[in-house]
Amino acid sequence: MSLNERAVSELRAEFPALQETAGGRPLIFFDGPGGTQVHRSVIEAMSRYLTEANSNFHGAFLFSHRTDETVAVARQALADLFNASRPDEIVFGPNMTTLTFNISRAIGRTVSSGDEIVVTRLDHDANIAPWLALQERGVIIRHADFNPSDCTLDMASLKMAINPRTKLVALGYASNAVGTINDVRRAAELAHAVGAWVYVDAVHYAPHGPIDVQALDCDFLVCSAYKFFGPHLGVLYGRYGLLESLPAYKARPANDAPPHKFETGTQSFEALAGVKAAVDYLASVGRRFGSEFASEFPGFEGRRRDLKVAMSAIRTYERGLCQRLVAGLGAIPGLRIYGITDPARFDRRAPTVSFTVDGLPPREIARRLDQANIFVWDGNFYALAVTKRLGLEGRGGLLRVGLAHYNTAEEVETLLGVLADMPR
């Protein structure tokens, strides 16, 4: 069976939050980019951990052994999701921002004054500010621009910003503000050509498509489990040799080997139990509803293959929904979409559609949609450089509709109807 409306209604029944109502009417969750809802198995796994294993790790007793096992299986799950070559390339932390500051601090201990780092104006500030912080060590920051007309990364500008002094190129896999998917593989080629590392923010991309750190040839890739149906937790992939060589800020008794040296303090073990369940849920989507993609990944087996199949099915389903959304929004007078609108180029966009409406501030639209039980975000979403470049900072920013695989065509139609009827 493929991932169609019937399959999605089956999946929706497994998400407790999607069964919630307000005023007797269903809720429509269009804020996946801010945080997705969680699958029932995630809640159960977290609860089970807290009941049957709650303790610190590396101790001599049963619950501690269970905690060690919880960490090990979570690491393997994420290695499978990213197609990492080994589980100890996976570092856990509270969230993407904290992990990125950790790595930037570590890299800061290795830089010399005059070294350069490239960031992009299409990125969330969590992949800009940690690199700007290295200016205090004499690092020069260069900014790659994007094309305001369709919000795609300007690859010529990126290429120009990279030179033999470049130490690292930081870019997003997909923009959480306007949905653009970047050519990360090409960016990695440009960076590696001058001996620089590539740091990829895959937070926004992760719930929408397959990730393969080996195929991308990236040095670091970071994301957040709460954006892919898991709990509040950050996950970082780092090339093993790099993690090994970078000097971490850590407590002295903590293990000196990667990934432990970057996992400061005690982890949220219940969240690790939850993220493993989230990965298993995604793999199950592949097994249950990915038949049309099942033969496409001959080199992959088991959960790695199921995940590739699942994310391919999810990408295809979401693309259909996104087409309907973009077409419907485009028909509303005075509404302007920022980002790719040509369906022929939708392989370069996530199903996250941001817009402005003449005469209606984004916050006002979000408030009125809330009255119709439709949850969306407004503002700059911390993608400050995007709203600044588009001239929208200080003017309320954008209204963002973020679709996930549990959303339906009916929900999109409801949104379009409410927007079309919204008085100005």
Q: Nearer Cβ to ligand PLP, position 29 or 289?
A: 29
Contact predicate 370/23, CB 8 Å: no
Q: What is the dihedral of CA 280, 286, 288, 289, to 10 degrees?
A: 140
Q: Nearer Cβ to ligand PLP, position 276 or 304?
A: 276
Q: Nearer Cβ to ligand PLP, position 210 or 286?
A: 210
Q: Nearer Cβ to ligand PLP, position 204 or 239?
A: 204
- Angle among Cα 155, 156, 160 to the nearest 5 degrees reads 115
Site residues for ligand PLP, 173-232, by CB under 6 A, read 176, 201, 203-204, 224
Draw the binding track, 64-103, toward ligand PLP (x: CB under 6 A; -: no contact).
-------------------------------xxx------
In the complex, minimum distance from the CB of residue 201 to ligand PLP, in angstroms, rounded to a whole number = 5
Q: Which two tokens stand for residue 102?
A: 């950790």
In the complex, minimum distance from the CB of residue 161 to ligand PLP, in angstroms, rounded to a whole number = 20
**Exactly one of 81, 119, 126, 213 binds ligand PLP (CB under 6 A); which one?**
126
Q: What is the dihedral of CA 105, 108, 109, 114, to 10 degrees?
A: -170
Identify which of 66, 21, 4, 27 has the alpha carbon closest to the alpha carbon of residue 288: 4
Contact predicate 63/302, CB 8 Å: no
- Whether the CA torsion 21, 23, 24, 28 is positive or negative: it is negative
In the complex, minimum distance from the CB of residue 213 to ligand PLP, in angstroms, rounded to a whole number = 17
In the complex, minimum distance from the CB of residue 24 to ligand PLP, in angstroms, rounded to a whole number = 32
In the complex, minimum distance from the CB of residue 122 to ligand PLP, in angstroms, rounded to a whole number = 10
The H-or-E segment that residue 46 falls in is: helix 40-52
Draw the binding track, 29-48, toward ligand PLP (x: CB under 6 A; -: no contact).
----x---------------
Three-state DSSP at 125 gives helix
Q: Nearer Cβ to ligand PLP, position 200 or 392?
A: 200
Show the 3-state SS of 315-335. HHHHHHHHHHHHHHHHCCCCE
Site residues for ligand PLP, 157-176, by CB under 6 A, read 172, 176
**Exactly one of 108, 210, 234, 396 binds ligand PLP (CB under 6 A); which one?**
234
DSSP 8-state assignment for residue 221: E
Q: How many helices (H) and strands (E) does the chain have?
A: 14, 17
Draw the binding track, 343-382, toward ligand PLP (x: CB under 6 A; -: no contact).
----------------------------------------
CA 365 to chain centre: 25
Contact predicate 374/133, CB 8 Å: no
In the complex, minimum distance from the CB of residue 96 to ligand PLP, in angstroms, rounded to a whole number = 4
Let me know if 332 is exposed, middle or buried by CB neighbors in 10 A (0-12, 13-18, 19+). Answer: middle
Q: Nearer Cβ to ligand PLP, position 80 or 201?
A: 201
Q: Nearer Cβ to ligand PLP, position 84 or 350?
A: 350
In the complex, minimum distance from the CB of residue 118 to ligand PLP, in angstroms, rounded to a whole number = 17
- Whether the CA torsion 199, 101, 388, 113 is positive or negative: it is negative
Q: Nearer Cβ to ligand PLP, position 11 or 404?
A: 404
Instruction: State the Cα–Cα distance between residues 113 and 135, nearest whole angstrom.
Output: 9
In the complex, minimum distance from the CB of residue 47 to ligand PLP, in angstroms, rounded to a whole number = 23
Number of residues that bind ligand PLP (CB under 6 A): 13
Q: Nearer Cβ to ligand PLP, position 11 or 385?
A: 385
In the complex, minimum distance from the CB of residue 150 to ligand PLP, in angstroms, rounded to a whole number = 19
Q: Nearer Cβ to ligand PLP, position 181 or 190?
A: 181
CA distances from 404 to 14, 28, 128, 311 (A): 15, 11, 26, 12
Tokens 């130490």 correspond to: 167
In the complex, minimum distance from the CB of residue 128 to ligand PLP, in angstroms, rounded to a whole number = 10
Provide the binding-site residues for ligand PLP, judged by CB under 6 A. Answer: 33, 95-97, 124, 126, 172, 176, 201, 203-204, 224, 234
